[in-house]
């Protein structure tokens, strides 16, 4: 079975949105009297907003009656920042052209809301490359559960074993591997030396570092 599909995570991988999510998250927790450090923030990247709020509310023992409103406000603050301030990550245009030239099917599978995915697609001007995009927003499970990746593969009508995923977070990498997909990890500088990325099939510092030789290693014919 030959690999012919590539699925990209979005936040932190295609667009430099993690500083926006970090700023929004710190602002929300600050309202309850807690100062989240950058180191702490990067331990929970890749989670959906709901799980992110639940995790830190439990950690700081904040009353969960505030969770729903905090999640809504977190999404609003982060979305506004991303739309107005976030820039493409290095190599986005390169990697999309690379896979289009190889006739790969291209998609996005993100923990972010559908509306934000669509806004980022428009901001990056990558809509013509994509066959589909999937959001974990309304799913029962978010990453590290593989549901969003499996749903994306279903939308594309491909076997998960035919897919390569690109992820920047440990949470997303686990989701991709649990879906039985090849995973290329492209960690943010703050997490590049996290030993857990050793579970990925390949670790690179930038999308620009991916090339023909690395693709050949990942796309060797495999049997089911």
Catalytic residue among 9, 80, 168, 201: 9
Phi/psi at 4 (5° precision): -140, 10
According to DSSP H, which parts of the chain are helical?
Answer: 18-30, 38-41, 49-60, 67-85, 92-101, 114-124, 147-156, 170-178, 212-218
Please confirm, yes or no, whether 9 is among the known catalytic residues: yes
Could you give the CA distance from residue 146 to residue 104 in angstroms, rounded to a whole number? Answer: 21
In sequence order, what are the residues at sequence separation of 6 or more whose Cβ sits closer than 8 angstroms to the Cβ of residue 46? 9, 111, 143, 144, 167, 168, 169, 170, 171, 172, 175
Helix, strand, or coil (residue 187): coil
Query: Torsion angle of alpha carbons 97, 108, 147, 221, nearest 10°?
Result: -10
216 included as an active-site residue:
no
Q: How many other C-beta atoms lie within 10 A of the C-beta of residue 87?
A: 12
Largest CA distance in the chain: 54
What is the crossing angle of helices 18-30 and 67-85, to 10°?
A: 140
Here the tokens at position 112 are 């972010």
Which member of 11, 16, 194, 209 is catalytic? 11
Q: What is the Cα–Cα distance from 32 to 26, expressed in whole angstroms?
A: 10
By annotation, the residues acting in catalysis are 9, 11
């Amino acid at each position: 079975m030959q690999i012919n599909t590539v699925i990209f995570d979005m936040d932190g991988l295609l667009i430099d949105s993690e500083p926006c999510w970090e700023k929004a998250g710190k602002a929300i927790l600050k309202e309850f009297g807690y100062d989240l450090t950058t180191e702490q923030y990067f331990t929970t990247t890749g989670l959906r907003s709901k799980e992110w709020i639940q995790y830190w509310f439990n950690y700081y023992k904040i009353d969960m009656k505030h969770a729903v409103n905090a999640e809504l406000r977190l999404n609003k603050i982060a979305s506004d920042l991303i739309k107005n301030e976030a820039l493409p990550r290095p190599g986005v245009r390169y990697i999309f052209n690379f896979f289009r030239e190889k006739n790969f099917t291209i998609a996005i599978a993100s923990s972010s809301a559908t509306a934000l995915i669509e806004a980022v697609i428009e901001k990056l001007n990558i809509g013509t490359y994509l066959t589909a995009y999937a959001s974990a927003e309304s799913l029962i499970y978010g990453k590290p559960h593989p549901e969003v990746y499996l749903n994306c593969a279903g939308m594309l009508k491909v076997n998960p074993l035919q897919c390569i995923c690109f992820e920047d977070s440990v949470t997303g990498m686990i989701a991709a591997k649990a879906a039985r997909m090849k995973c290329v990890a492209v960690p943010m500088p703050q997490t590049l030396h996290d030993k857990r990325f050793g579970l990925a099939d390949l670790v690179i510092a930038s999308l620009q570092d991916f090339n023909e030789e690395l693709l050949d290693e990942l796309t060797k014919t495999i049997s089911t």
